[in-house]
A and B are shown apart, each in its own frame.
Chain A
Amino acid sequence: EAAVTQSPRSKVAVTGGKVTLSCHQTNNHDYMYWYRQDTGHGLRLIHYSYVADSTEKGDIPDGYKASRPSQENFSLILELASLSQTAVYFCASSGTVNTLYFGEGSRLIVV
């Protein structure tokens, strides 16, 4: 069974603080993605990666950095968290058959 694991599952952060969301996949997939979802909305792409040590900007990259140190791991970094970054964040991986496997989501509240 393909698996994508996110941590932490829930976090409360202080405005201006640093937040790191981690994602680990055991699917042997090349592609990994970070999305955010705001209440009542679809998923918006923040960053993605198709190979280790390389990341690409998605549709809403401002305020976020990404890191792909290995094929299995993909992190999303908020250097200076802001109130507007309160959302649920989803990580996903994809292989050559173009089927996305999602993690369970990380709920971030910035106060």
Chain B
Amino acid sequence: GQQVQQSPASLVLQEGENAELQCNFSTSLNSMQWFYQRPGGSLVSLFYNPSGTKHSGRLTSTTVIKERRSSLHISSSQTTDSGTYLCALVNYGNEKITFGAGTKLTIKP
């Protein structure tokens, strides 16, 4: 079945530092999405990125298909970036969406 591995499991940074989150998958990529889960629990879609690089403000997502990995880069981190970041892999064959375990990011002031 599909396997999605995220690293690191947790990351603590000082405000202003950059964060690099990784997602590796064991099957051929269909599409990749990144989500942010607020401390209260709700989830927000950040990127839909099956390949290449996409930017949104201080966030950059890069997916390299042949290496079966996707990354999320957060520049100049802020305390409001704290939360859990999840990547998800979509299988176009059966539309099954599989999540990684997430990276818990803590930004200290």
**A→B interface (CB under 8 Å):** 31, 33, 35, 40-45, 48, 50, 56, 58-59, 88, 90, 92, 94, 97-102, 104-105
Contacts and interface: CB of A to CB of B under 8 A. Distances in A.
B43 A90 contact: yes
Contact of B45 (A58, A101, A105): A101
- SS class of chain B's interface: helix, strand, loop or mixed? strand
Contact of B98 (A41, A56, A59, A94): A59
A31 to B, nearest CB: 5
9 contacts: A42-B99, A42-B101, A43-B86, A44-B99, A45-B97, A59-B1, A92-B97, A102-B42, A102-B43
B88 interface: yes
A98 B45 CA distance: 11
- SS class of chain A's interface: helix, strand, loop or mixed? strand
B77 to A, nearest CB: 22
A105 B106 CA distance: 22
A105 B98 contact: no
B41 interface: yes
A104 B86 contact: no
Interface in B61-109: 86, 88, 90, 94-102, 104
